[in-house]
Amino acid sequence: MTGTGTESSRARNSWRPSTGRVVCIGETMAALAPDPPEPLESAGRLSLSVAGAESNVAMYLADHGIPVAWLSALGDDALGKRVRAAVSAAGVDVSYVRTDAHHPTGLLMKDPGPAGTRVHYYRAGSAAATLGPELLDHEPVRSAALLHFTGITPALSPSCRELVTKALATPADARPHAVSFDVNHRPDLWPDGDAATVLRRLADRADIVFVGLDEAQGLWGTDLTVSGLRRLLPHPRILVVKDGARAATAFTGSGVHTVPALRTTVVEPVGAGDAFAAGFLAGLLRGLAPTRALRLGHITALSALQVTADHGPLPDSQRIGHLLALPAREWETLGRAAAPDQTGVHDRTLPG
């Protein structure tokens, strides 16, 4: 069914993780980007920020008032200290992040251009690449209500792949916590060509899955449709498919819910998918109906689209409440209010 302003009691009672802290696990790097956005080779000024899919999600969850910890490793270097301080300043618990004296903090550089933003990574042998499955036996994982991973982590190293594989090895009904998984395919991280097989296997074992329709078509077949993705990934309790500038659809136990994307002027698109995932998860954890959780995802994504960094400020709570309460027709009007290439959920300009 398509989401409307009036939702059934069945929708309001959709499955959600148990109450408790979210733990986001994965690498975060220092990030350099031209400011204002322009091609890297001609930029006169670079800004330093932090960039990591899982910590992006953690920071936006904290913005929404959700208790959250970020679990990773950083080098014993100045960039590692900057990363730790930035994530902590957003309200995320970083006390379990390991400092590694033998491996550096990763670095990326953004290169905006007419065809989109290219990202150059300097992460080989980074501290986060040494993460392994032993993390799952200790806090904060043992007391978590929800673990969040992305498809970036299993591509970083064999031990990182073991980490994610082990987290999803136990059947969903027997796990002490829920697991969410954003496919987040980065082709350059998969030189051996096994991304399609590995990411499909991992995604189908998670409780909550996020995937872009375009990235799914690149991985599993150009003829895939939104509904076809549900047939490809039948086991997640909730599957969220982001269809670029058009809409996002959530397949849940209460039905199929589609909400159009909001439109905005895009300053820099990288990070919008992470923001969307955080907004949806925040809505789910608050007990919102699927259509409103999707709306909160779209609203949160706008915060990333309007800044050069991956993490931007949310609208104030009054504005968020107003948008969540809009009748469906008024929401759809906001979605048609700008050019077709402006979107609150699309960040697939990343090449790898």
Residue 106 phi, psi dihedral angles, 5° rounding: -70, 160
Residue 1 corresponds to which tokens in the numbers above? 């069914």
The length of the chain in residues reads 352
Q: What single string gives the DSSP state of each residue in 173-186?
A: GG-SSEEEEE----
DSSP code at position 132: -
Q: Looking at 274, 310, 316, 341, which residue is catalytic?
A: 274
| Interatomic CA distance for residues 255 and 251, integer angstroms | 6
| Positive or negative: CA dihedral 150, 240, 284, 303 | positive
Compute the CA torsion angle 271, 276, 279, 280 (nearest 10 deg).
-150
Is 207 an active-site residue?
Answer: no
| Interatomic CA distance for residues 347 and 242, integer angstroms | 10
115 Cβ contact partners less than 8 Å away, ≥ 6 residues apart:
none
Residue 238 corresponds to which tokens in the numbers above? 């909730």
* Residues with catalytic roles: 274
